[in-house]
Amino acid sequence: MAQKLSPDMFRSAFKAIDKDVVRWFPGHMGRGLKQMQHKLRSIDCIIEVHDARIPISGRNTDFKYTISGIKPHILVLNKVDLIDKKLIPSIKNRLKNEFENVVFTNCKDQQCKGVKTLFPLAQNLIKNSDRFNRSQAEDQCVMIIGVPNVGKSSLINALRVRNLHKGNATHVGATPGITRSVLTKIKMSEDPLCYMLDTPGILTPKIESAEVGLKLALCATIQDHLVGEGVIADYLLFWLNKNGHYNYVKFFGLEKATDDILEVLAQISVKKKKMLKLRDNTNNYVYKPDLDYGAKVMLQAFRKGDLGKIVLDEDLL
């Protein structure tokens, strides 16, 4: 008989962790923010990139005031291929009072509608804005901003390939903090002559709650080791059960849904044949599941979309 599942069967709250654990604002972020502010006089438009799985949580809201000011501002929600498309209207409605221009993209897909429309939208906003000290400038300059690891560099590369028909101009990596400083101008098109500035990922210095921090960690905007992969995996299990997403049961070959993260991680490790050889208290060797490996596999499955199309902020829409 199939297991009858209800969110009421599982934890209603995640164990409290100190939100200082998920606060990560290294020195290069503070320096990067100052560099970005110094570049503003040469900027015509701001494109803020964020992860579509957390459209509300974790955005550095200070960007709107400390960086963009009165300049045209576009919010790009990247990795749209990883979310439930039926939630897009709710996301747009939730953000409509804050952002007039919201674009959903998948930077890995050159045929993505958002990737196709973003550059013309930026050009149109620049054309119809008061460029102040840059009113006589022949070129256009757009700054890409956002928290770490949301696809800023990937977006620049995708737009460069599409509009200039040239390859990657900036390094892309899965580790938060790859782009460490404001780079020199990267040409995006010849006609009109347009450049973009890639910038370091800047988190908000004050993460409002531990849960917001855990969502950021789940989406890899905070380095895993700072929070702990086991803790992040446990929060993922809590969130999946709480919101009725049980695809993990079949994907990991579990007998049933569970609230026990150790059970999940052990099952993953056993199935992958990843065991640790240890000595017990009698000095004999025993084999135990590699739980750290299991946590890595679980997080990777979520980040690749193997556990379903998920918006972690669905309760905020």
311 is in an annotated binding site: no
Q: Which of 83, 17, 10, 8 is nearest to 230 (CA)?
A: 17
154 is in an annotated binding site: yes
Q: Is 150 annotated for ligand binding?
A: yes
Residue 201 known to bind ligand: yes
Would you say 78 is a known binding-site residue?
A: yes
Are the C-beta atoms of 216 and 312 separated by less than 8 Å? no
Q: Binding residue per annotation — 168?
A: no
Binding residues: 78-81, 149-154, 201
Which residue positions form the known binding site for GTP? 78-81, 149-154, 201
